[in-house]
Structure 1
């Protein structure tokens, strides 16, 4: 993501705040970099939202600037690594770090997955989050087995497109078919998603952000000639496997079909 300063360490203007900045000026600086104050809020451990900031650090004898997400927790300040940045100015580096933090989800940076239950807003949400895994979920494993039984071979948890920071659950490189297995809660299933009654504004924004990210992923892959298939976790596994097989076999019949027309999913 970031470049390195190879010939000399970065100047202080790339990471250090201007001397004499007031608290309100620093807050405005963070708001601007994050694209608005609303983007800086996190669910705190007490159930209330807290205001996060990006802190830039240049370790001693280093030529790399690192960005950390910081937020208050009681009387303490917590922080977690976000990314390495490589722009010439502090303003640009803050904006770069905020873009990355927002793209991966602030909450995922705030806490390790095993501790997520401490700030989940309700028992129902905690249950969903405990069951949430980045890969090898039960629906994924069932779909892999069904697709494999149809004689199809694929790669698992791979980036379909170089430069696009998205991983598909099943990737068929030759036919350019990317399959995503979407959880009903995290991706806002129109049939089964039920918004949390606590911290509703945060969770509604979170799920809507996931849906927008899914749509952007579909558009970028389709533009690059990929067929995108999205499978809800509640879908019948055999029917989903048949959809995937049809897309792959269509390419085998005609390896040069018209691509980029959309994705094969039942999204509303």
Structure 2
């Protein structure tokens, strides 16, 4: 009997089994329930479904990142550091379950892909983006050292720093491919068909062979430091959440509202780099 989910769907389409983030009214923001259901579906698909897993979002975009409303958006004071660290570390473990999954995982990304969603996609084996995609950092700088370090193995430390240092920085689909964050950029209307076609070709390789190929390549990436780079990011982010400058921004969010504070930090992206107009 298929599991009943409230915030995701699981759809089987020949060689590919989709995990669909299904909170379009909330921009597919990652609530605690969605995260738990995502992990449960990923675990269930180890023993059922097609030989390839796909992840996509319902509605106008892939995912807007963490659901700040579910975790408090500034009106509840600083988080308990140990509880905060445990929550952040648990989410890294959720993404590592993608990395360690016995099946190839393809992220199909359209529209917006922000903050923790941009971190999640790093752990997919293959990422295909639509030409309408905007892959971005959180606009309000109330965290740090959590998302961009996962990018380093894909884009290098200089590009990861450029991405992280500017509030709300973002890249488009062609830039994501150029940087090495994504494999392909395709027209938005062709995204799902392109991923399905790729899954068809991957499925020609027997599942046991795919599993060992993935394991071998993962070990090579880990020898280069991929997993080690993630070892301290939860602690750094939890520590920063207690910094006076971050607490001050959270207080502004409580007083002025999230949208007003976002506007104060909204600036153009740094790619392509252009001189400011006088």
User: TM-score range with shorter-chain normalisation?
Assistant: under 0.3
Which one has more relative contact order, counting CA pairs under 8 Å at least 6 apart? Answer: 2
TM-score by length of 2: 0.26
Query: Which has a greater percent of helix?
Result: 2
TM-score (norm 1): 0.27
Which structure: larger Rg? 1
Which has the larger strand fraction?
1
